[in-house]
Amino acid sequence: MTKHCLMVGAGLSGAVIGRMLAEAGHRVTVLDARGHIGGNCHTERDADTGVMVHVYGPHIFHTDDAEVWDYVNGFETFLPYKNRVKTTSQGAVYSLPVNLHTINQFFGQTLRPDEARVFLESKADTSISDPQTFEEQALRFVGPELYEAFFKGYTIKQWGCSPSDLPASILKRLPVRFNYDDNYFFHKFQGMPENGYSAMIGRILDHANITVTLNTPVSRDQAAGYDHVFYSGPIDGWFGFDLGRLGYRTLDFERFDYRGDYQGCAVMNYGDVDVPYTRITEHKHFAPWESHEGSVLYKEFSRACGPDDIPYYPIRQVAEKTLLAEYVAKAEAEANVTFVGRLGTYRYLDMDVTIREALDCGRRYLATLETGEPMPAFTVNPL
Ligand SMILES: Cc1cc2nc3c(=O)[nH]c(=O)nc-3n(C[C@H](O)[C@H](O)[C@H](O)COP(=O)(O)OP(=O)(O)OC[C@H]3O[C@@H](n4cnc5c(N)ncnc54)[C@H](O)[C@@H]3O)c2cc1C
């Protein structure tokens, strides 16, 4: 029997699940509070310069998941793109993640890989046997100099607290490479959508069984009357924040324009704590196959998320996880709603993981229609 399902959110989660249900013959209504599709992956071409701007911050597609890679390539051409990040620290520019070039440049050495390992071991604080905090973890594995230059200031700015107050798990394995590989991601498949993410998501949503309406915030009451709701908004928002708000970091982007090439790369981090922003992104470098005289840049500032701000990074410390557990219990008592995506499950999710989870969620729903089993509130465990 044909179902009528509501997707709250026209980001990747809502689009991928909606497409799968539409292809299976069901009616899908997609509602989004914003005036555009694409959620936080939204891209738009700047009218003045022609540059494709990543409106909510830089997005690079990378995955080891062949099905997800085939999926996105089915809706958009992906062109080769390697993320090569630089950082400005203590008056010099270095390559990230910390690699042999960074180590040799920083310490004025010409070390080979084995020598660099021994050298860094001599820097490590071996009195720390079981690192509990981010700071201890960093001091244990790279020593004080690299920690100060590349991790400390950036982390303070990004998370708004001392690395000694953050759990070691944030930096479980310090990304240090003992070769000259400066490709930020390890994944087998990497690329950029030729026409931006919103064009891709627009094609995913382009199906006769899907209706998309923008500028339409949806509350729990307004979501009644559908056979099933897939909610990709904030889980605490669904319940009107009645138990309190889950903590997030938000970002402020300060745009500036330039004629020519401002910084020669897409992403320049700033490791020093006295530089108030964490990084500058120059968007035209995300599309190296295009050529633009003008340039659009974002300075990125991180701060605590207030009620009217866009939630970006979930904090997920002990207090937040306790509150999350309470919301999860409430969510599990709901009927005909599944909480999905980065906000619905209060987790940081890369795009490939978002798509993988959305594909699995859509399949699970279609399977429940066959078996008669109830569709759960979560198809992944958010805790
Ligand atoms: C700064 C930053 C950089 C990132 N960079 C990368 C990267 O380089 N590579 C990568 O793989 N991933 C990256 N990501 C992750 C990527 O943004 C997410 O994987 C993706 O956006 C998740 O999609 P989603 O649909 O779950 O959520 P969202 O994109 O947040 O979409 C949710 C949608 O729901 C709508 N909505 C919410 N509540 C309601 C409501 N009540 N009513 C109606 N609509 C509602 C919102 O307006 C939004 O459009 C980055 C994330 C951030 C924050």
The CATH number that applies at residue 334 is 3.40.50.720
The answer on pLDDT for 205 being more than 70 is yes
Residue 90 banded pLDDT, cuts 50, 70, 90: very high
Cβ contact 300:58 at 8 Å: no
Comparing 44-53, 122-131, 255-264, which segment has the lowest mean pLDDT? 122-131
Question: Do residues 239 and 325 both lie within one domain?
Answer: yes
Catalytic residue among 140, 279, 342, 356: 279
The answer on pLDDT for 167 being more than 90 is no
HEC secondary structure over 33-100:
CCCCCCHHHCEEECCCCCCEEECCCCCCEEECCHHHHHHHHCCCCEECCCCCCEEEECCEEEECCCCH
Percent of the chain with pLDDT over 90: 90
Task: Report the pLDDT value the prediction gives residue 169, as an integer from 0 to 100.
Answer: 77
Known catalytic residue at 147: no
Task: Report the pLDDT value the prediction gives residue 366, as an integer from 0 to 100.
Answer: 98
* CATH number of the structural domain spanning residue 157: 1.10.3110
Question: Do residues 236 and 365 both lie within one domain?
Answer: yes
Structural domain total, the chain? 2
For residue 175 the two structure tokens come to 């990304």
Residue finishing a domain among 137, 171, 205: 171
Task: Report the pLDDT value the prediction gives residue 79, as an integer from 0 to 100.
Answer: 98
- pLDDT tens track for 212-244: 999 999 999 999 999 999 999 999 999 999 999
Residue type, 109: Q
Question: Do residues 154 and 28 both lie within one domain?
Answer: no
Known catalytic residue at 350: yes
Is the CB of 13 inside a 6 Å radius of any atom of ligand 1? yes
Is the CB of 199 inside a 6 Å radius of any atom of ligand 1? no
Question: Do residues 163 and 221 both lie within one domain?
Answer: no
Mean pLDDT, the chain, rounded, equals 95
Question: Do residues 109 and 162 both lie within one domain?
Answer: yes
Task: Report the pLDDT value the prediction gives residue 166, as an integer from 0 to 100.
Answer: 87
Residue 162: domain span: 99-171
- Average pLDDT for 59-67: 97
Question: Do residues 235 and 321 both lie within one domain?
Answer: yes
Residue 129 banded pLDDT, cuts 50, 70, 90: confident
- pLDDT tens track for 240-281: 999 999 999 999 999 999 999 999 999 999 999 999 999 999
Query: What's the whole-model pTM score?
Result: 0.96
Is the CB of 356 inside a 6 Å radius of any atom of ligand 1? no
Is the CB of 59 inside a 6 Å radius of any atom of ligand 1? yes
Question: Do residues 15 and 68 both lie within one domain?
Answer: yes
Residue 165 banded pLDDT, cuts 50, 70, 90: confident
The answer on pLDDT for 175 being more than 80 is no
Mutate to test the pocket of ligand 1, among 59, 83, 302 (most ligand atoms within 8 A of CB): 59
Residue 214 in any domain: the answer is yes
Question: Do residues 159 and 205 both lie within one domain?
Answer: no
Question: Do residues 158 and 211 both lie within one domain?
Answer: no
The answer on pLDDT for 1 being more than 90 is no
Instruction: Give the residues across from 222 on adjacent strands.
Output: none
Residue 174 banded pLDDT, cuts 50, 70, 90: low
Residue 330 in any domain: the answer is yes
Question: Do residues 238 and 321 both lie within one domain?
Answer: yes
CA of 311 to the centre of ligand 1 (A): 9
Question: Do residues 237 and 138 both lie within one domain?
Answer: no
Is the CB of 20 inside a 6 Å radius of any atom of ligand 1? no
Residue 188 in any domain: the answer is no
Task: Report the pLDDT value the prediction gives residue 186, as an integer from 0 to 100.
Answer: 87
Catalytic residue among 173, 221, 274, 370: 173
Q: How far is CA 300 from CA 116, 250, 341, in A?
A: 33, 10, 24
Residue finishing a domain among 171, 203, 222: 171
